[in-house]
Amino acid sequence: MMTRQTENLGPGAGAATPHLPALGRRGGGWVVAQMTLLGVAAVAGVAGPAWPAGGRRFLRPAAAPVALAGLLLLAGGGARLGRQLTVYPRPVATGTLRRDGAYGLVRHPMYGGVSLLLLAWALASSPAAGPPWAMATIFLDVKRRREEEWLLEQHADYAAYRRDVKRRLIPFVW
Question: Which ranges of 16-95 would DSSP assign to H, the alpha helix?
Answer: 28-47, 53-81
- Does pLDDT of 43 surpass 50? yes
φ and ψ at residue 51, rounded to 5 degrees: -65, 145
- Does pLDDT of 69 surpass 90? yes
- Does pLDDT of 76 surpass 70? yes
Mean pLDDT of the chain, nearest integer? 91
Query: In this predicted model, what pLDDT tens digit does every residue of 118-173 receive, in sequence order?
Result: 999 999 999 999 999 999 999 999 999 999 999 999 999 999 999 999 999 999 99
The answer to whether residues 118 and 37 touch, using CB atoms and an 8 Å cutoff, is no
- Does pLDDT of 4 surpass 50? no
Q: How much is the pLDDT for 14?
A: 42
pTM above 0.75, yes or no: yes
Q: Which of 77, 65, 90, 63 is nearest to 147 (CA)?
A: 90
Q: How much is the pLDDT for 80?
A: 95
- Does pLDDT of 2 surpass 50? no
* The dihedral sign for the CA sequence 135, 138, 144, 146: negative
Cα pseudo-dihedral 163, 169, 171, 174, rounded to 10: -80
Q: What is the DSSP letter of 141?
A: H
Q: What angle do CA 170, 154, 21 make, to 5 degrees?
A: 70
For residues 40-44, give the mean pLDDT. Answer: 98
For residues 25-37, give the mean pLDDT. Answer: 97
Question: CB atoms < 10 A from the CB of 116, how many?
Answer: 25
For residues 21-37, give the mean pLDDT. Answer: 97
Q: How much is the pLDDT for 17?
A: 54
Q: Which residue has the higher pLDDT, 55 or 12?
A: 55
Rounded CA-CA distance 128/130 in Å is 5
Confidence of residue 55 (pLDDT cuts 50, 70, 90): very high
- Does pLDDT of 39 surpass 70? yes
